Amino acid sequence: MKKQFLLLVTLAFAFAVGAQTKAGFDDITLSNNSVKNGSGMPVSGKFNSGNVDFTNTYQTNYGGFWSDGWAYSNIKNDTNGTYGNLYASYANTGVSNSLKYAIGQQGSIMRIVGADAGDTVKGLYVTNGTYPALTVKNGDAFSKKFGGINGTDPDFFVLIIKAWKNGMQSNDSVSFYLADYRFENNASDYIIKDWTWVDLTSLGAADSIEFTMSSSDKGQFGINTPLFFCVDNVVTQNDTADFENLNLAANKYWTKPNTSIRTTYQSGNAIFPSRFSVSSFGDYWNSGFAISNKIDAQLDSGVIGYDKIYNAVINQGADSSSNYAVAQKDARIILSGNAAGKQVEGVYVTNSNYAYLSMKWGDGFARKFSDTDFFKLNIIGFKNGTATDTVPFYLAQNGFIVNTWTWVDLKPLGNVDSVFFSLTSSDVGQFGMNTPGFFAIDEFTTRDAAVGLLDINNTLHASVYPNPTLNKLNIDLSIKNTNAVVTVFNMTGKQMLKQNVQGFAQVDLSNLNAGVYFVRIECKSEVKTVRVVKN
């Protein structure tokens, strides 16, 4: 009977430990005190007017900025010649006093679409942006005043327009001088302020039009003149792109694609999707998971703010690791590799500092929790689109708010290919749950596959005692002079300590918490695994 029990324990250990993979997130590179949530990645978008697409790229790092392509605007400001007035036309309106126009920068491309794709583009109106025009006129810390001190320098600022078709660039180009100070008579020098028609028929058939700029003012790092320009009323064979179809509030500009970055982070045999939204109203982490090692210097200080969503309340990962994941309501983990369709062992869970402080103190939207309030995480398994079972975990209940990493056993979910996280709270208002819908996870442990059992039979003769034990565990090998390796695992399969022994030895468990552990003794080709209780 004892022999059968040991075999069952060994089999359980083989499934629980020998074939586990953990998503501990420490395999994902993070600089100190930082977060990965999809920000910092370029968003490629476009807007359309007439039969023309205007491509746009917006970088979400460094606070976010328009990195290339086109923006559109209805800003009226012909007096501010700084970067803060980047989106204003020097003409102060669109063509014929229309409201809207487009701003391009170096390397911008228009793509001809619809019925006009591959036909000749008739032309477009061009003017300066206020920023480059006044920089050319007055100079600034980076750029010279055109003409120099005496007004005689032969400076120029030129827009060069080329056509492309089927990936081939045309031999012809059209040059349009946005500013020209090369005249012998300085009175002829000019900076374009009015909208000016530029004929493009000489470029021939095109499926896209490319815009580059050049300037006489060059320095160590290239052109000093701000490389921006404005266009309006792009006339193709069948339509005109006049930008009046595009929505803008008064005196505003648009540079963002109003879209989402969808990315994934993988750790172990689990995939953690994340979505970061970019819009004219601001950029924000939209859904899914963010990988973090952020440290809150004011942990549990009562200072509550949205910036604390990326902090686990304990300020570190499970088992004192650096990285962990912060999740939002309705986040989903997708199992991959050998773990797909198999049983999930479990996960460590705790509160985000934002949710914890909100429940503890209340904030402008959520109330301070009382003994009757709760914040509940429902963890739901799915297989082939069908829910298997649910494991509930209370992040707050009966006056207690979780503030440590807590292991949640997910084996009741059965075989799954994804795990879904849903949040509910007793604090509900007109627009739904008031409690901030964020929590943290770590050490998401999957079972890769049913492993072979040939290498885990209890073939080694060794005594392990006392069991239960308080601190010291005796290992007595039947062959006194034989070297062996003793490894102690916790119930989630995490290795807690490893020690070489010979003959008779003691293993010190005093640094381990009370609980159940598996002790594995390996000697040459033989192995013995014992379930040990530490009091």
Percent of residues in the chain assigned helix, strand, coil, to nearest 5: 10, 45, 40
pLDDT of residue 454 exceeding 70, the answer is no
Give the pLDDT score at 4. Answer: 41
**Mean pLDDT along residues 325-351:** 93
Helix (H) or strand (E) holding 23: strand 20-23
Q: Which one is predicted more confidently, 494 or 160? A: 160
Give the pLDDT score at 6. Answer: 42
Give the pLDDT score at 16. Answer: 43
**Mean pLDDT along residues 288-312:** 81
How far apart are the C-alpha atoms of 236 and 175, rounded to whole Å? Answer: 19
Q: At residue 470, what is the residue type?
A: L
Contacts of 269 (CB under 8 A, 6+ apart): 21, 23, 335, 336, 337, 338, 339, 340, 446, 448
Please report which confidence band the pLDDT of residue 158 belongs to, taking 50, 70 and 90 as the band edges: very high
**Mean pLDDT along residues 506-528:** 83
Give the pLDDT score at 30. Answer: 87
Please report which confidence band the pLDDT of residue 448 belongs to, taking 50, 70 and 90 as the band edges: low
The pLDDT tens digits for 3-55 are 343 444 444 444 444 456 778 888 888 888 888 998 888 899 999 999 999 99
Q: Which of 239-243, 277-281, 449-453 has the lowest mean pLDDT?
A: 449-453
% of the chain beyond a pLDDT of 90: 65
% of the chain beyond a pLDDT of 70: 91
pLDDT of residue 169 exceeding 60, the answer is yes
**Mean pLDDT along residues 509-526:** 82
Give the pLDDT score at 481. Answer: 60
Give the pLDDT score at 299. Answer: 63
Structural domains of the chain, ranges and CATH numbers in brackets: 1-19+450-535 (2.60.40.1930), 20-38+258-447 (2.60.120.1350), 42-251 (2.60.120.1350)
Cβ neighbourhood burial of 443 (10 Å; 0-12, 13-18, 19+): buried
pLDDT of residue 452 exceeding 50, the answer is no
The pLDDT tens digits for 352-394 are 999 999 999 998 889 999 999 999 999 999 999 999 999 999 9
- Nearest CA among 242, 240, 199, 237 for reference residue 120: 237
Helix (H) or strand (E) holding 158: strand 156-165
